[in-house]
Amino acid sequence: MTEASALIRKCVHCGFCNATCPTYLLTGDELDGPRGRIWLMKDMLATPDAPPSPRALRHLDRCLTCLSCTTTCPSGVDYAQLIDHARAHAEPSRPWPQRITRRALTGLMSRRRSFRAALHLGRLARPLAPLLPARLQAMLALVPARVPLAGAAERDSPPAPAKPIGRVILHLGCVQPALRPQIDDAALRLLTRHGLHVIITRDAGCCGALHQHLGQADAANARAAATLAEWRAAGPVDAIITTTSGCGSVMKTWADPLSAQVRDISEYLATLPPLPSQIAPGTAVAWHNPCSLQHGQRVTSARELLVQAGFDVRDLAESHLCCGSAGTYALLQPELSGELRLRKQAHVAATGAPILASSNIGCLTQLASPDWQAVHVVELLDWASGGPNPLS
């Protein structure tokens, strides 16, 4: 807690952060902004042996961890580390129904087979949605109409090119291979097309980001250690590639030398010579920059790669604001998440683009709509360089 106290002291309570905090903009409640939450954390640390109050838990739980506040903060407060400290401190004191729900979520979502089975059950339960509580309705709303089979990246080891220009790990993770395996398949094709030898550490599984954001520090550390062990077993590589920006923003913070090799796929592709585009230029694409990419990692190359490939990239109004997905947030805070989703979808519609591109599976799931096709940026880049059309 000494470290957290030092982080709190950096905050000068100027309030600039509130101007870019999605939950403060929705509720207007000071305690739903970063400055108010830091006050609550300070009170928690002042009495570390006392359980956090229900009010403190409510407002801490409403935080999306979008980190828009860190981009705005003139004092350099490390809010991500601070909120993680606070949640880990509060977790053991939660009412037992909350602890069971949160552990059930991380237990299911962090294991591909379990998550696929849950998706199949969710499809069967969809007709019962109107009879269920709001939180369960929110969960069922995110279940896809069809649960896909495992993708090629999860099944087969790609052969190395005759003369590879480099050797990289493609980290598959847990949720994305179950929901959208075509994303990692597109990444595999694209990296191979560039002449890279791609190593897939299929057993690495969940990196622990879900657990970390829910205050389950021990489980998060165990997941991180297991992932690092899988990476080390793969041998020396030039980079560790992730196609899920939410995972990448956490993996880059690990206190291990390997974390310095983690790259979002757009970040790594920007260092390679561009491939010739094989599609007609001018296809309109609305670009949603995930919070974990723009605020967590400060990576801007995804948009530039789309422009370079010939797409007509259209930016969203309020592009700095979260869409409301935020890992498990859409499941645990369905009302606020729903308001943010509608707000962001209105901005997507205003672009008039028939395609929405993003770099995070949570955002793509949250912003899906019959009015446009939501695809990962890597699917579009794969298509532009000779891969299958993700829109067909």
pLDDT number for residue 141? 74
In angstroms, the CA 294 to CA 297 distance is 6
Which residues, 6+ apart, have CB-to-CB distance to 207 below 8 Å? 171, 173, 223, 224, 227, 247, 250, 251
How many Å apart are CA 165 and CA 161, to the nearest integer? 9
Its pTM stands at 0.92
CB of 287 closer than 8 Å to CB of 303:
yes
Nearest in space to 380 (alpha carbons), one of 267, 290, 283, 299: 283
**Which positions ≥6 away from 265 have C-beta within 8 Å?**
187, 190, 191, 241, 242, 243, 359, 378
Q: What is the pLDDT of residue 218?
A: 94
Q: Say how many CA atoms lie within 13 Å of 379 toward its Cβ.
A: 23
DSSP-derived letter for residue 292 is I
What pLDDT shows up at residue 185? 94
Please work out, in degrees rounded to the nearest 5, the angle formed at the alpha carbon of residue 48 by the alpha carbons of 47 and 52: 80
Task: Output the pLDDT for position 2.
Answer: 62
Q: What is the pLDDT along the chain (392 residues), one digit of tens a residue?
A: 566 777 788 888 898 999 999 999 999 999 999 999 999 999 888 888 888 899 999 999 999 999 999 999 999 899 999 999 999 999 998 999 899 989 988 988 888 888 888 888 878 777 777 777 777 777 777 777 777 777 777 777 677 888 899 999 999 988 898 889 999 999 999 999 999 999 998 777 789 999 999 999 999 999 999 999 999 999 999 999 999 999 999 999 999 999 999 999 999 999 999 999 999 999 999 999 999 999 999 999 999 999 999 999 999 999 999 999 998 999 899 999 999 999 999 999 999 999 999 999 999 999 999 999 999 999 999 999 999 999 88
Q: What is the pLDDT of residue 161?
A: 83
Helix (H, G, I), strand (E, B) or coil at 374: strand
* HEC per residue, 109-124: HCCHHHHHHHHHHHHH
19 Cβ contact partners less than 8 Å away, ≥ 6 residues apart: 72
| Residue 120 CB neighbours (<10 A) | 12
Q: Which of 382, 244, 392, 387 is nearest to 309 (CA)?
A: 382
Instruction: Write out pLDDT tens, residues 170-209.
Output: 999 888 988 899 999 999 999 999 999 999 987 777 899 9
Distance CA 379, CA 382 (A): 5
Looking at residue 7, its pLDDT comes to: 76
37-68 pLDDT, tens per residue?
999 999 888 888 888 899 999 999 999 999 99
Q: What's the pLDDT score for residue 54?
A: 92
The encoded tokens of residue 387 equal: 């891969």
Position 357 scores a pLDDT of 98
pLDDT, position 1: 55
The pLDDT score that the predictor gives to residue 130 is 75
Q: Centre a 10 Å sphere on the Cβ of residue 320 and count the other Cβ atoms it contains.
A: 15
pLDDT tens-digit map of 231-275: 999 999 999 999 999 999 999 999 999 999 999 999 999 999 999
pLDDT at residue 24, rounded to an integer:
97
Integer Cα distance of 225 and 44 in angstroms: 29
Nearest to 285 by CA among 390, 186, 215: 390
Q: Which domains does the chain have, with CATH numbers?
A: 2-93 (1.10.1060.10), 96-141 (no CATH), 152-269 (3.40.50), 284-384 (3.40.50)
Q: What is the pLDDT of residue 3?
A: 67
Cβ atoms of residues 184 and 361 within 8 Å: no
